Structure 1
Amino acid sequence: MKSLSRLALPKVFSVLTLSLALASGLTAADADARTLNFSTPAPPTDRPTNDALLWWADEVEKRTEGSISIKIHWLQSLVKYKDAARGVKSGVADIAPMTPEYTMAQNPLLALSSTETGPGDNYVATEAWRRASENFEPLLEEYRRMGARPIGFYSSGARVNMSSTRPYLTPDDFKGDKVRLTPRSVNAANINNWDVTPVNITFADFYSAMERGTIDGAQSYLYLMAPYKHNEVSDYVVETDLGQSLVVVLMNERVWGSLSDEEQKVFEDLLPEYIERMTKAGLEEAAMAKDLLINHPTYAVEYFELDDKQKQAWEKDLAPATEQYVADRAKQNPAATELHERFFDALQEVKKEVAEQGYPWDRK
């Protein structure tokens, strides 16, 4: 009820504002509050990341004094998630989160934000990317070519292997299964001759694909399993503690340019707050998801965490694939090598800070 009631407010206020304008002679500027359409693949459930999104939408309206309101379109109802970048550029959606690896041909630098190895912590990855990419001109130019402007980003956090046949504790456990793999894992499969059939689908389609038997498993993310009910179609979940995928929230560049200086400043000021809230919410959801997956009364799964030897097996096979991935992106844009190095240096830097000082919200 909380999320639905909030979503209804902008519509109600728009009608009331227009009625009052006609009755009392308010100027067109006063009455003409602008609504921006935000497309998301997420379901409108009661969860920390949705709370963070709804907080952000409320803050936009409050801080612009009602000149901007955000209408959230849930469950890919406005734009399919894999088409989010194109949907924002075309103006079908004014704002949408997107996973850069779906469009790496168009944005090779942004695609480097997703990792196969290294820390999978939501905050560590997001803050490291912020530091590595801030004012990096080749990336800013890439955004301009995309016809979009980043107004937020957050990490998917801990990666998991979900499956219905057996737990994927090492690459040897695939045993010919049909599995949705990340692009770099597809490369690793080819380089190392994994006995697996890669299938390319988006996470929003995991449930139906697992249910129909189109795939036997998938590389996914812990915090997504509960809201998308992936435990209903999986028997095994392996927490890898390796890699993560960054989600970038894009605004159409023409829409951004049409905002007043004051309205643009609202979005700029909200960016660090939105990042912190989303990363904290992601960590909370990961903990909630793990508990639910293990203790669900009907659809509990067998849950595994990799030991050091198993983790090293993945890292060994993924290392050459990562090198090839960066090299391929560098063919598209030579700045890829520098950005990759900046990002991995920042990952270690932020990981150390968190180990010594805790998360920012714990320091306050």
Structure 2
Amino acid sequence: MKKSLGKMMLGAGLAFGAAASGHAAERLVYASYYGEAYTVSKADIWVMSEIEKRSNGGIKFERYHNATLLKAPDIYPGLSSGAADIASGTPAAYNRNQYRLSNVALPYISSDIIAVGKAMKDLYDSNEAFQQEFERRGAKVLYFLPWGESSFYTGARPLVRAEDFKGQKVRAVQAIAESVEALGGTPVAMTWNEAVEGLTRGVVDIAGSIPFDSGVFGGIHESAKYASDGGDQGIFSVAAISINKKRYDSLSPELQKVIDDVAAEAQQKYFELLDESYEDVVNRLCTYKGGLTINVFSDEEAKKTADIVNPIVQGNWTKWAASGNQVDTQAFLNQYVELVRKYEADSDWKSGYQRLKDRGCVQQ
């Protein structure tokens, strides 16, 4: 009997070992439109590698970066339909009408990556309406990763005051476009690649809505004469990494726990990776010999700019986000801002432009 039991246990162990080694692994399809060089992608790659490792091969990922499976506007619809199991995208930008509450990360609120990231996760965990924005479309958010604060690049003249936006054609997306309008500029919708070429050819006077580190990695500074923080315009966009809820529910509790545990660590890993990325970008800009002048608005001009923009942009958002939602959007925005301020109080994050100032690489 003992021998028979021993054989049964050995057989069960071998069977589990076979599953863990990949013979019966759960295959999850990951889709993103970001290239692997982006910091958001680097965090996702770490998450997938950790899940594969901690599940002992019980989960394997089929990875599609750089829109090789789904283009940016199709990432979240593709997640809903089951074309992908895990999606890394920015539905607030590309599926705005379906993800209105996700656009709560408005400009001129904060440049603190840590505070915004934690605030978005807390908001999702505590606010049923925000959860349902994703879950009624078959998505379960695993983690949020804020993009870097907005940067502006100009070809003809510096951008150092609110008045400098007036009469200018500005590449701008999401709420940045409304900010530009509020300041007297003309927002122009164009892709990232079009923005780089458009600035060089004079199609736009200013290229904006550019996350601090991504813009430099994309070479936008090589096409400009001036860079600016736009008055500490801050974070305006957040990536949401989600799993198809039906697919998640189909996994064993053990595998679900592995995914949840790693996802809970994803933000901290991202903060570490982004800190390294920012230091790299600051070094590149401070040592760049191509004639780029870096400007920041004075504290007085930054406050003036925010005072002009915030009543308009936040007022427009609360009305727009309420359409089709049975939600007190002003209370939702207030909750987001309160959470950001709570986490700012304990955060040691420095924005890219703060780091440039500390290095003595900016002019005001």
Return the TM-score normalized by structure 2. 0.80
Instruction: Give the alignment's Cα RMSD to 1 decimal.
Output: 2.8
Q: 1:72 and 1:178 mapped to 2: Cα distance?
A: 38
Cα deviations by residue, 1:126-150 (Å, 9 ceiling, x for unpaired): 1122223323111111112222111
Q: Distance in 2 between matches of 1:228 and 1:43?
A: 11
Taking the TM superposition and a 5 Å limit, the aligned residue runs for 1:153-164 are 153-164=144-155
Give deviations 1:22-75, integer Å, cap 9, x for gaps: xxxx68996133332323333333x76554332211111011221212233232
Moved more, 307-316 or 88-97: 88-97
- Equivalent residue for 1:197, pick from 186, 189, 205: 186
Pick one of 173, 193, 207 that aligns with 2:196.
207
Matched, 1:243 2:265: no
Residue 22 of structure 2 contacts residue 60 of structure 2 at CA under 8 Å; is this kept in 1?
Answer: no
Aligned twin of 2:279: 287
> For 1:31 and 1:177, how far apart are their aligned partners in 2?
59
In 2: Cα distance, 1:198 partner to 1:158 partner: 18
Match of 2:127 among 133, 136, 139: 136
The yes-or-no answer on 1:232 pairing with 2:222 is: yes
- Residue pair 2:150, 2:208 contacting (<8 A) in 1 also: no
Three-state SS of the structure 2 residue aligned to 1:182 is coil
Asked if 1:165 is matched to 2:156, the reply is: yes
Q: Supply the distance in 2 between the matched residues of 1:263 and 1:209 (Cα, whole angstroms).
A: 47
- Structure 2: distance between partners of 1:204 and 1:339: 34
Q: Does 1:73 align with 2:46?
A: no
1:232 Cα shift?
A: 2.6
Indicate yes or no: 2:331 matched with 1:342: no
The Cα shift of 1:208 comes to 4.4
Query: How far does residue 214 in structure 1 lie from its aligned partner after superposition?
Result: 4.2
The structure whose Rg is larger is 2
Q: 1:103 aligns with which of 95, 109, 112?
A: 95
| Residue among 18, 22, 25 paired with 1:33 | 25
Q: Could you tell me the percent identity over the aligned residues?
A: 22
Task: Indicate conservation of the 8 Å contact 2:120/2:144, yes or no.
Answer: no
Q: Quick one: structure 1 residues 208 and 68, their matched pair in 2 at CA, closer, same or farther if it must change by over 3 Å? A: farther
1:229-273 per-position Cα deviation (integer Å, ceiling 9, x unaligned): 222323221124333122111222332233222222111111221
Residue matched to 1:86:
77
What is the distance in 2 between the residues matched to 1:50 and 1:139? Answer: 24
Deviation (angstroms), 1:325: 1.2
How many residues align structurally? 327
* Residue ranges of structure 1 left out of the alignment (5+ in a row): 1-20, 357-364
Q: TM-score, normalized by length of structure 1? A: 0.80
Range with bigger deviation, 331-340 or 245-254? 331-340
Instruction: Please list every run of 5 or more consecutive structure 2 residues that lacks an aligned counterpart in the other structure.
Output: 1-13, 350-364
CA separation in 2, counterparts of 1:247 and 1:124? Answer: 15
Offset at 1:108? 1.6
CA distance in 1, matches of 2:19, 2:151: 54
Post-superposition shift, 1:274?
0.5
Distance 1:184 1:265, change over 3 A: same
Q: What secondary structure, in the 3-state scheme, does the structure 1 residue paired with 2:279 have?
A: helix
Residue in 1 aligned with 2:354? none
Letter in 2 for 1:284: E
Q: Does residue 256 of structure 1 match 2:227?
A: no
2:257 is aligned with 1:268: no
Residue 353 of structure 1 aligns to a residue whose secondary structure is coil
Question: Counterpart of 1:78 in 2: which secondary structure?
Answer: coil
d(CA) in 2 for partners of 1:301, 1:166: 11
Pairing partner for 1:309 from 281, 290, 300: 300
Paired residue for 1:44? 36
For 1:221, the aligned partner's letter is P
Question: AA paired with 2:336?
Answer: F
Q: Aligned partners of 1:282 and 1:223: how far apart in 2?
A: 8
Deviates further, 83-92 or 200-209? 200-209
Q: Give the direction of change, closer, same or farther, for the CA distance of 1:293–1:159 in structure 2 (3 Å limit).
A: same
Counterpart CA distance in 1 for 2:243 and 2:203 is 34
